[in-house]
A and B are shown apart, each in its own frame.
Chain A
Amino acid sequence: MALQNENTYLNDPESGAEMARLLDQDRTLTTCMGGLWPELDGSLDGIHDVLDVACGPGGWAQEVAIAYPQMQVTGIDISRAMVEYARMQTRIQHLENASFLVMDATRPLDFPDNSFDLVNARTIAGFMLTRLWPALIQECIRVLRPGGVLRLTETDSWGKTNKLSFETLMDLAFMAANYTGHCFDPSGHSFGITPMLERLLKTAGLKDIRSRAHAINFSAGAIAGKAMYENFRVFFKLLQPFQLKAREAFPAAGIPDQEELDRLYEKMLVDMLDEDFVGIFYLLTAWGVKNL
């Protein structure tokens, strides 16, 4: 089938525009969530080796390396282009404590047991098929040292708003994502991953499991408004090839054609400029500790 290949990411991970978008998104999320790992601040003493799973262009990993020079940060991503880009970024910033490797997070990780003190993954539902989550979490636990922390941050949807155009585009994105096996939500209207996170961590055998919710306001005039507007402007355009492939592969899904997607896209841009536009992007961080 057209959509089944090694890469299950919704957007083209080799695209430079996607790299820039992800870097912007990394910075926006980190700022609006209150830091790189706000829930762990004050308990970082045992953390020396950090793994960032599906690191993309390496924004989060580089920020950790800069803020915590005593730590060694490793980022992995399936995209060679993303990894090469991240490596170039570390060179020009003279970062010696960050490294990046090409690795498929949906397969066994190429690290020895007990290699890391913290394993992080943020917003990976875009490429994770639901059936792959348990195996990934087991792999993360295997490479964690006893007492190490596995930290997952996910979202069910990229935002809830008061605009029909935005919601329609989002529904269409999830219609395609649901057909390709990315959604826990049985209705297919969202990833449905956040209610699953604690359960997945618990089932995998972690202890001291906790979670914290984050809400990023991207309404007109809000602090994240401009950054998220730019983000969606690129995101929904880059998503179109995936949607059109899904339309071809699943004719019964009712995914519209290019012309209708373009019309909705233009309407969404106008609606997001409207002064009465309101939107919130919800995320949940769940984390747990590997038994000693």
Chain B
Amino acid sequence: MHDEVAGSWRELLAGIISSSSERQRIAGELRVNPVTLTRWVNGESSPRPQNLRQLLAALPQYREVLFSLIKREFPHFEAVLAENVGENGSATIPGEFYMRVLRTRASLPKSLLYMPLCDLILQQALKHLDPYRSGIGISVARCLPSLAGDSVRNLLTDMGRGSPPWLQNMEPEIMLLGAESLAGYVVITGRPFGIPDLYASDNRIPVSLGAWERSAAAAPIIFRGRIAGSLVVSSTQLDYFSPDRQELVSSYADLIALAFEPEQFFDPRHIHLRALPAQQVQQPYIAGFRSRVIETMRQAEERHQPLTVIHAEQLVWQTIVDELLLHQQVTVAGQ
């Protein structure tokens, strides 16, 4: 052990990385060059807070002594460790970002409003909610009206961003959600909700779990009492969503409301979410999405009633929902 005589965390680390294999291992876990570890040890540079957190995680056998030595050099490290979004007063969305969103919204053509504005906000939310890249996925689940247009039976997640292990634009995560999901739950209740441990047996609502999800929070996207969908954030960490972070999720949901047109908000009385099949059941239906959009546009062209891509996409999603609900009925009837 190296901790008996170490007077600083740098000295302790020097002893540990005198083993070249340990030096390589730690550098790998922290995703830094091994030379960086040497520079820290020699006092030539200092790690960022997230590097120190990762160092603690990489050296569990030294955790207590390392933590105490780090605090000697970085007195605020304890607060950073427990941190949340409170550091540097960043528990709220910066005012300049509101200004940026409003300016962007004012300059975008209607046909281009939703995606770029959502993208801008999701990228900001991603960095704000996960500054140290511990891994979160964030997505917008929006209300999809039925083909008849008289009600909303499900939600569509077609915009998402993530930090590893999630993919950057979360394309494989595209899916239809219903009452069985956290996204659906907050749309139905009209209130934000967080789940500190998705695997806990006493969860109040059933949730479908992704491979890396350990905790999640969601907030409805509301304007004038009408609902457009929800913002859902998942984390690889248990209990990630402190009250500050949940508040931030709600604030970003409020901001994302600006990416929707008035007609995309629905009266809660017309939202009747149904339970949809699991993602693996949906996949074969979603896999043919592109070709179905093209076919829909071709048919519309033949009828001399051309459709925009956005409109055709919506029609195809609505048709897929009908098929999935039928699938669900057949499955239930067969049981």
List residues of A whose CB falls within 8 A of some B CB. Answer: 12, 14-17, 19-21, 23-24, 27-28, 31, 44-45, 66-70, 81, 84-85, 88-89, 91-97, 220, 226-227, 230, 233-234, 237, 266, 269-270, 273-275
Contact = CB atoms under 8 A, between A and B. Distances in A.
Interface residues of B, number: 51
B108 interface: yes
A274 B294 contact: yes
B115 A234 contact: yes
B257 interface: no
Contact of A16 (B47, B48, B103, B109): B103
Interface string B323-335: 0000000000000
Contacts of B133: 66
Contacts of B308: 266
Contact of A21 (B101, B116, B132): B116
B94 A91 contact: yes
Interface stretch (B120-128, B181-189, B218-226): B120-128
Contacts of A81: 100
Nearest to B48: A69
Given A92-B94, A234-B112, A266-B309, A70 B36 contact: yes
A69 B36 contact: yes
Contact of B39 (A14, A15, A70, A94): A70
Given A20-B116, A220-B290, A269-B309, 16 more contacts: A12-B107, A14-B103, A15-B104, A16-B103, A17-B104, A17-B116, A28-B168, A45-B35, A68-B32, A69-B32, A70-B45, A94-B49, A233-B112, A237-B111, A270-B293, A274-B290
Given A45-B35, A226-B169, A270-B294, A23 B123 contact: yes
Contacts of A270: 293-294, 297, 309
B90 A92 contact: yes
Given A17-B112, A94-B49, A230-B169, A273 B96 contact: no
A46 to B, nearest CB: 11
B28 interface: no
Nearest to B90: A92
Nearest to A240: B109
A69 B46 CA distance: 8
Nearest to B289: A273
B97 A88 contact: yes
A234 B101 CA distance: 16
Nearest to B313: A273
B13 interface: no
Interface in B232-252: none
B206 interface: no
Contacts of A233: 112, 115
A84 B124 CA distance: 13
B171 interface: yes
Given A69-B45, A94-B88, A227-B169, A17 B108 contact: yes
A220 B287 CA distance: 12
A81 B48 CA distance: 27
Given A67-B31, A226-B169, A237-B111, A92 B127 contact: yes
Contacts of A19: 100, 120
B47 to A, nearest CB: 6
B21 interface: no
Q: List 6 tightest A-B contacts by C-beta distance, closest first.
A: A16-B104, A17-B116, A70-B45, A20-B120, A20-B119, A226-B171
Contacts of B309: 266, 269-270, 273
Nearest to A70: B45
B260 to A, nearest CB: 16
Given A21-B116, A92-B131, A275-B290, A16 B87 contact: no
Most buried by B among A88, A237, A266: A88
A69 B294 contact: no
B117 interface: yes
A270 B47 CA distance: 48
Given A31-B168, A275-B290, A97 B48 contact: yes
Interface centre among B50, B90, B116 (most CB of A within 10 A): B116
26 contacts: A14-B103, A16-B107, A16-B117, A17-B107, A17-B108, A17-B112, A17-B116, A21-B119, A24-B123, A66-B48, A66-B133, A70-B32, A89-B127, A93-B127, A93-B131, A94-B48, A94-B131, A95-B48, A227-B171, A230-B119, A237-B112, A266-B308, A266-B309, A269-B309, A270-B309, A274-B294
B131 A16 contact: no
A233 B124 CA distance: 20
